Amino acid sequence: MKIYAFIFARGGSKGIPGKNIGLLGGKPLLVWSIEIARDIPEINRVFVSTDDTHIAKIARKHGAEVIDRPPELAQDDTPEWFAWQHAIKWLEARGDSFDVFLSLPATSPLRSKDDVLNCLDRLDDITDIVVTVTETSRSPWFNMVRIEKDERLRLLVEGNYTRRQDVPEGYDMTTVAYVTRPSFILNHEKIWDGFVRGVLIPPERAIDIDTMFDFEMVKLILNKNNQC
């Protein structure tokens, strides 16, 4: 069984300019994902899909292969699913096929090898895609709200619950890892088109870097762990 790992790292980022190559613990952010993939023997090849020449240079320097992503698939509003499809088709056009598609977003540098291996193990015959989740600190039935057009607040999800203990347990999706098969990506339009399973990740390893606050939080955690 061939397992290919992919890191999708475009050049543009509104929240943090140059986020994917910002230094964290002395190395570019995307390198954390490359290194953990290369450190897992079950993974056969590691790719970085990017539209940015600087990112491509860093990826190659650290042992990843580069997939040149068209600019139209690297916009702020481009669904990453399209970039997933492009990566698979790019390999197919070169006569390369594989069994398991693993996405390791650059924005989750605190993942562990066991987190990734647990996700790979969770993909079975009835599962189309495996995602990662963490326990949520808020309930959409009690303390998550939406703002209506008249500026009135309403609960995000309304129900007849009077006690928090009675509501369904909720989880936040994280970007630690996604595991699926190339055929599922090529023949569907989104994650929720299939049978989805989740792997629970502790919150301290599930931070998704989207803002400078997130970036600084991860630095603090790494400092506490004496990793930088």
Number of H helices, E strands in the chain: 6, 11
- The mean per-residue pLDDT over the stretch 168-178 comes to 91
Q: Using one digit for the tens of pLDDT, what is the confidence trace for 97-137? A: 999 999 999 999 999 999 999 999 999 999 999 999 998 87
Q: Tell whether the model's pLDDT for residue 32 goes beyond 80.
A: yes
Q: Is the pTM of this model over 0.75?
A: yes
Q: Which residue has the higher pLDDT, 6 or 168?
A: 6
Please give the Cα distance from 84 to 36 (Å, whole number): 20
Give buried/exposed letters for 63-97 (b at 16+ CB in 10 A, else e): ebebbebeeebbeeeeebebbbbbbbebbeeeeee
Q: Which residue has the higher pLDDT, 138 or 217?
A: 217
Compute, in degrees rounded to 10, the torsion defined by CA atoms 35, 40, 46, 50.
-40
* Six token digits for residue 46: 């590691």
Instruction: State the DSSP H helix or E strand holding residue 24, giving kind and residue range, or none if neither.
Output: strand 23-24
| Residue bearing tokens 């290369």 | 38
